[in-house]
Amino acid sequence: MKLLPTIASPADLKRLSIEQLPELAAEIRQAIYEQVSKSGGHLAPNLGVVELSIALHYVFDFGYDRLLFDVGHQCYPHKLLTGRLPGLAGLRTSAGFAGFPEPRESSYDLFSVGHAGTGISTAVGMARGDTLNGDGFDPAKAPNGRRVVSIIGDASIVNGVAMEGLNGAGTLKRQFMVVLNDNGMSISKPQGAVAHYFDKLRISSAYSGMKQAAKELLASVPGGGAVREAYHKMGEGMKAVLNEGAWFEHFGLVTVGPVDGHNLPEMIEVLREAKNFDRPMVLHVKTIKGKGLSFAEKDSSTFHSPAAFTVIGDPDSSNLENEGCRVEIKKDGRSFTAAIGDIMVEAMGKDPKIVAATAAMPDGTGIAKTLAKYPERSFDTGICESHALDMMAGMAKTGWKPFFAVYATFLQRAFDQCFQEVSLQGLAVRLLLDRAGLVGGDGAVHHGFCDVAILRVLPQAAIMAAMDEPSLKAAVEFMRTYDQGLSSVRYPRDSVSDRFAKEACPAFELGKARCLTPQFDLGAPGNNGAGVPEVAVLAFGTCAIDAMKAFDELQGELRVCVYDARFAKPVDTDLIARLLKAGVPIVTVEDHSVVAGFGAAVVEAASDLNLDASRVVKVGLPDAWVYQDSRAKQQALVGLDAQGIAKAIRKAAALASTDSAPEVHVKVAGGVARSSK
């Protein structure tokens, strides 16, 4: 009989004997592997925390105690242990569970978590709140109080916010546990001095004695009044065991480990003793990313978050090449990420002053290609977006041309640096914003929905979007020579379109759009007597390709002129003025929030020109959260597919003679309605 289907809650887990838990771990690992191979998702990170997740739920009661994740993509085993096995089949879609902790799904998930470094700080906050409420655990005064555990991993311990959290944790005068899931990896090999410290710790001669030392010290903790004495004993004991001193003890945290995160009896024994500490502590757990699948262990970067894949041969073979096993990952065409990697290699070959950086995402941003080709001019800072952007500012100050490749959602973590160290100084730092707009299965925690809004306030900023690979290359060339301030180009987690591949791509000119349908361009020589267009579409980024699909649908029905807007700052004021003065309604389309985005910039420009801005209709992401599903379904949901854009164009045309612009209503999950007027 299978064990996993019997686990409707952690209470069912606790009914199993310790001897049965390895069997459960194997079933969880197999279930995750089978589903991710079909749908894609975070594979290697979750395979590495199966036993750790089981041990934590076996010892603690997280229906009452607090469990906070730092790296949220390690939550699949946790979800399976908290009764969500039926949702695995719909992983990362609206029919199943999210790929990150999601409080809408379960009370066992306390925060929606998609950005690294935050878990310790939020856990400190809950620990303080519980204490103030009189609910906090105290071995003498409140033995039934709530305990707090924060699990952090995939090298996010080096994040600046995590350091601030550790600093705060050290001031607590109560139980508090940070579980450091140390798998020697972030998404790729972790970078920086702290990461190197843990590497050195793992290979030191002291490693083999640490588990036994921790075990012996914990064995002396009977609980209650003896905890305080054991705390002091452990502080001295671990200093003797850890080479170069216990690093975390500088934060005022007891340090235990590393212990084997795949040895369930040992993990459970350690956790049972450690949960009764009355002081904050770090439990250093050593795990293997991709544990249980040889190909995921050998290449955990590729299998960190793969698309759907097929294994041909034996997935348990230890040597893929010699034993005939290979893994084929589904590909949907050339991605923007692959394109930017090649574009940057070419640009760095032409211009020796260009430098490139990424924050722990070399494969996800394409910078792996420049790291291989130009290692002396390419940098991976680890999960440190703020540091990376400050470093780029410093390099700009010394005469270099820095390009920082970062997911749009993670740019938010470095906005202060965009403001203070870049724009305020008048420095030219260039941002390559991958995963802009809707991101599909990663959902609300990862949508790049506000990069235009936060960057548009910065003086002299040049904010762009690319609709295809040639325009991305042209944008990078523009940024290379733009020295007036910060510049950025955004592009989605999607394949590049080849619709305009055979046409020459004009160079980017500051604040100028590109007409994609010259036969309908107002007043242009190529108008061929077609007259004034009935509607003009100004589309930002890849939305221009979707607008062209809507144009195809409307052929013979409406005269529509489609423009690749290219710039959200500065917008093409000459074009806006020309269209509105001719009475042509404008539909703006963007894969970004309608709040403070490209469409808002067009409306503001019209107002500044004393023109009637009521004829500008904004179509974009609604002022509501869009949850996990395929990118195509998300686009259809919010009206950003070809059909939705065509609908907006028809309404704009139908109401062009009225005093107010049409309202395009969008309904998203949860029944939240939004007007895009």
Rounded to whole angstroms, how far apart are CA atoms 134 and 128? 10
pLDDT band at 228; cut points 50, 70, 90: very low
3-class DSSP state of 675 = strand
CB 578 within 8 A of CB 609: no
The structure tokens listed for 418 are 């965009």
Rounded to whole angstroms, how far apart are CA atoms 369 and 632? 29
For residue 93, what are the contacts with CB-CB under 8 A and spacing of at least 6? 39, 441, 628, 629, 630, 633
pLDDT tens for each residue of 328-385: 788 889 999 999 999 999 999 999 999 999 999 999 999 999 999 999 999 999 999 9
Scanning the structure block, which residue is given the tokens 């009189």?
Answer: 134
∠ CA 128-217-16, rounded to 5°: 75
Rounded to whole angstroms, how far apart are CA atoms 193 and 205? 20
Q: What is the pLDDT of residue 325?
A: 54
On whether the pTM is more than 0.75, the answer is yes
Rounded to whole angstroms, how far apart are CA atoms 634 and 441? 10
Q: What is the pLDDT of residue 36?
A: 97
Mean pLDDT of the chain: 88
pLDDT tens for each residue of 155-178: 788 889 999 999 999 999 999 999
3-class DSSP state of 109 = coil
Listed in order, strand segments (DSSP E) in 191-286 are 254-260, 280-286
**Does the pLDDT value for residue 526 go beyond 60?**
no
Is 413 one of the annotated active-site residues of the chain? yes
CB 564 within 8 A of CB 467: yes
Q: What is the mean pLDDT of residues 80-97?
A: 98
Question: What is the amino acid identity at position 148?
Answer: V
The structure tokens listed for 201 are 């710790």
Q: What are phi and psi of 658, to 5 degrees?
A: -85, 175
Q: What is the pLDDT of residue 239?
A: 36
**Lowest mean pLDDT across 23-27, 190-194, 453-457, 509-513:** 190-194
**Does the pLDDT value for residue 492 go beyond 90?**
yes
Q: Which one is predicted more confidently, 448 or 188?
A: 448
Specify the pairing of strand 354-358 against strand 309-312.
Answer: unpaired
Q: What is the pLDDT of residue 246?
A: 59
Q: Region of 40 please: left (phi>0), alpha (psi -120 to 50) or beta.
A: left
**Does the pLDDT value for residue 250 go beyond 90?**
no
Give the DSSP letter string of 418-487.
IIIIIITTT---EEEEET-B--GGGGGGT-B-SHHHHHTTSTT-EEEE-SSHHHHHHHHHHHHH--SS-E
Active-site hit among 84, 92, 147, 289: 289
pLDDT tens for each residue of 604-637: 999 999 999 999 999 999 999 999 999 999 999 9
Which domains, and CATH codes, for the chain? 4-286 (3.40.50.970), 336-490 (3.40.50.970), 514-675 (3.40.50.920)
**Lowest mean pLDDT across 517-531, 546-560, 563-577:** 517-531
Q: What is the mean pLDDT of residues 500-528?
A: 88
Scanning the structure block, which residue is given the tokens 């509607």?
Answer: 535
CB 403 within 8 A of CB 371: no
pLDDT band at 189; cut points 50, 70, 90: low
**What interhelical angle do 207-219 and 264-274 show, nearest 10?**
50
Question: What is the amino acid identity at position 461?
Answer: A
**Cβ–Cβ contacts within 10 Å for residue 647, how many?**
17
Closest C-alpha among 587, 511, 495 to residue 547: 587
Is 633 one of the annotated active-site residues of the chain? no
**Does the pLDDT value for residue 103 go beyond 50?**
yes
Active-site hit among 369, 413, 473, 566: 413
Is 385 one of the annotated active-site residues of the chain? yes
Q: Which one is predicted more confidently, 661 or 58?
A: 58
Q: What is the pLDDT of residue 312?
A: 84
pLDDT tens for each residue of 407-434: 999 999 999 999 999 999 999 999 999 9
pLDDT band at 90; cut points 50, 70, 90: very high
Q: What is the pLDDT of residue 257?
A: 80
Active-site hit among 385, 421, 469, 590: 385
Q: What is the mean pLDDT of residues 138-157?
A: 92
Q: What is the pLDDT of residue 225?
A: 37
**Does the pLDDT value for residue 323 go beyond 70?**
no
Q: Which residues are registered as beta bridge partners of 403?
A: 356, 430
Q: What is the mean pLDDT of residues 134-142?
A: 95
CB 74 within 8 A of CB 43: no
Rounded to whole angstroms, how far apart are CA atoms 613 and 594? 15
Rounded to whole angstroms, how far apart are CA atoms 494 and 170? 43
3-class DSSP state of 381 = coil
